[in-house]
Amino acid sequence: MDLFGDAGFCFCAFAGWLDIAMVVVLCALLMAGYPVAFSLGGTALIFAVIGLAFGVFDISFLKPFPQRIFGAVSNTTLIAVPMFILMGVILEKSKIAEELLDEMAKLFGSLRGGLGISVTIVGALLAASTGIVGATVVTMGLLSLPTMLRRGYDPAFASGSIAAAGTLGQIIPPSIVLILLGDVISNAYQKAQLEQGVFAPETVSVGDLFAGALIPGLMLVGLYLLWQVFVAVTQPKKAPAIPAAEMGSRAEVWKAAMKTLPPPLILIIAVLGSILAGAATPTEAASVGAVGALLIAGLRLAPKGSILAGRPAVVTSAAAIIGLILLTSFLDLRLGRESVSGVESAGIALAFLLFALTPWGVIASFIQLRREKTLSAIVDQSARVTTMVFTILIGAALFSLVFRGLGGDDTVRAALEATPGGVLGAVITVMAVMFILGFFLDFIEITFVVVPLVGPPLLAMGLDPVWLGVMMAINLQTSFLTPPFGFALFYLRGVAPPEVKTSDIYRGAIPFIFIQLLALAILSVFPMLATWLPGVLYQ
């Protein structure tokens, strides 16, 4: 009897640790190299069976899973993800990023550290127009790194500048991380309020997170530039200037820059400006961005002489889209209203005309991309990235349901409440855990698995959801640079010349990791950096 009693006690004790064992097994599978989505789903199913066997898991926790899948694929906020992915892939494949790098290098190359400065500025521009880290790092690694090495730049400094600039796509809106994080934070915020007895919960939108991340993102760009200037001044051998005679005349450089810079800048203003101004939701702005990127690609590739499939078609469609954005910003164009003024009626008629002109340039751009044999590559890469994101989302949904069924929510809440230092201690602990997980996991896994677990308890402590979301976004951005598994480092290693050692890439990334941690510290001391702009725009 004692034997059976001891065995029963052991079984009960093991069952009480199933939620923690579930997380440990997941981390082990991911570190072993198994696919993320299948690791999440497989771990969840295995521990659901174990929990049923021990009688500590209720099968009813799995009943909402089909609704979770349907909700994920029909979520209007998440529809923005494939649109922004498509926008970034189009800009990458149509060589627009290459032109930006080339012109920026000519503008700043004659200064000490000028090539590093140009990489950071282009990284910020690409971040605001693509939001895809891999595409940015690979593009700049292929184009800028050989040039910087040939000009005498220190391999570590050049590699770190490129890798860090590529990660800006994670924090500068519009960012895929902010879209995914915004959806998760919104759900966590509503859950926290419901648990507190607030049955008319406030909401936080992706637009709030975009506005909150703008100033911290620009601050991070400024810190990067300050570091590069500091290195160029104190250690000029690491970042020498290019002789001005090799750069051409300033007039020619500015003339070329004025041809290359306006289209991406207009796209950034159209996408980000329409969101911040409240004229469009992130999903609507993402569709505008995808169409705008398509038109920019068509404008670059289109032959000058053709009328139907050339630049006139693209320019006309681009002007029509800009006109539509301006009309919706200043006039109420809704149909079916009882009273419509004469100006609004004229605006509605003009909107119909502009809308009819839009497909002309879009079709012309498709024709040009097909002729250049880049259309299939764009569609293929966009589908692959989008499928990866949503498959991980589905696996994470199953994992979270089983984890909660095993009592994981209570374990996380109790751990955070027991953390020394109260709310501050809980925030520091969560940020430290996310930072450490960033050494091994991608931002998507951390967003879909960790944030839903720690978000509700933290928000129930009274933290601002926008501030918490931006803090997490910067922390997730750091995960791209942390050795040994920082994805930006992997991307750069894949395209770097043989003379650049892996140790050089790691050494170059370390100062920028500390810069990002400094940005986290500044944001924690001055939360208004994240909360001021959303308050001004939306409250």
Is residue 120 a contact partner of residue 161, using CB atoms and an 8 Å limit?
yes
* Residue 252: how many other CB atoms lie within 10 Å: 11
| CA distance linking residue 23 with residue 402, whole number of Å | 11
Q: What angle (nearest 5°) sits at the alpha carbon of residue 60, between those of residues 56 and 66? A: 130
Examine residue 38 and state whether it is found in any structural domain, yes or no. no
Dig out the tokens for 7 from the structure.
């065995």
The type of residue at 486 is G
Alpha helices in 75-113 (DSSP H): 80-93, 96-108
Backbone phi, psi, residue 263, to 5°:
-60, -50
Q: Which residues contact 506 (CB under 8 A, 6 or more apart)?
A: 483, 484, 489
- Domain total in the chain: 1
Is residue 390 a contact partner of residue 72, using CB atoms and an 8 Å limit?
yes
List the one residue out of 137, 168, 180, 130 whose CA is nearest residue 290.
130
**How much is the pLDDT for 16?**
63
Examine residue 130 and state whether it is found in any structural domain, yes or no. yes
| CA distance linking residue 234 with residue 255, whole number of Å | 33
Examine residue 372 and state whether it is found in any structural domain, yes or no. yes
Examine residue 179 and state whether it is found in any structural domain, yes or no. no
Dig out the tokens for 529 from the structure.
């950096």
Is residue 101 a contact partner of residue 143, using CB atoms and an 8 Å limit?
yes
pLDDT in tens, the chain (539 residues): 444 444 444 445 555 678 788 888 887 887 776 777 788 888 888 888 888 888 877 888 788 788 777 777 777 777 777 887 788 778 777 777 777 777 777 777 677 878 888 888 888 877 766 556 666 677 777 777 887 888 888 888 888 888 888 888 778 887 778 888 888 888 888 888 877 777 667 778 888 888 888 899 899 999 999 999 998 888 888 888 777 666 666 677 777 777 777 777 777 777 777 777 777 777 787 888 888 888 888 877 766 545 445 677 777 887 888 888 788 777 777 777 777 888 888 888 888 888 888 888 888 888 888 887 888 888 888 888 788 778 877 887 788 788 878 877 777 777 777 777 778 888 888 888 888 777 766 677 778 778 888 888 888 888 888 999 999 888 888 877 877 667 777 778 777 888 888 888 888 889 999 999 999 999 999 999 998 988 887 66
Examine residue 385 and state whether it is found in any structural domain, yes or no. no
Examine residue 259 and state whether it is found in any structural domain, yes or no. yes
Place of tokens 């174990």: 50
Examine residue 95 and state whether it is found in any structural domain, yes or no. yes
Is residue 353 a contact partner of residue 387, using CB atoms and an 8 Å limit?
no
The region, left, alpha or beta by phi > 0 then psi within -120 to 50, assigned to residue 58 is: beta
Place of tokens 């989008």: 386
Is residue 253 a contact partner of residue 247, using CB atoms and an 8 Å limit?
yes
Examine residue 439 and state whether it is found in any structural domain, yes or no. no
| CA distance linking residue 360 with residue 386, whole number of Å | 27
3-state secondary structure 236-292: HHHCCCCCHHHHCCHHHHHHHHHHHCHHHHHHHHHHHHHHHCCCCCHHHHHHHHHHH
Residue 419 burial class via C-beta count within 10 angstroms: exposed 0-12, middle 13-18, buried 19 and up:
middle
Dig out the tokens for 331 from the structure.
């006039």
Give the residue numbers spanning the domain of 120.
Answer: 80-172+215-380
Distances (CA, A) of 176 to 114, 171, 512: 29, 9, 21
Largest separation between any pair of C-alpha atoms in the chain: 93
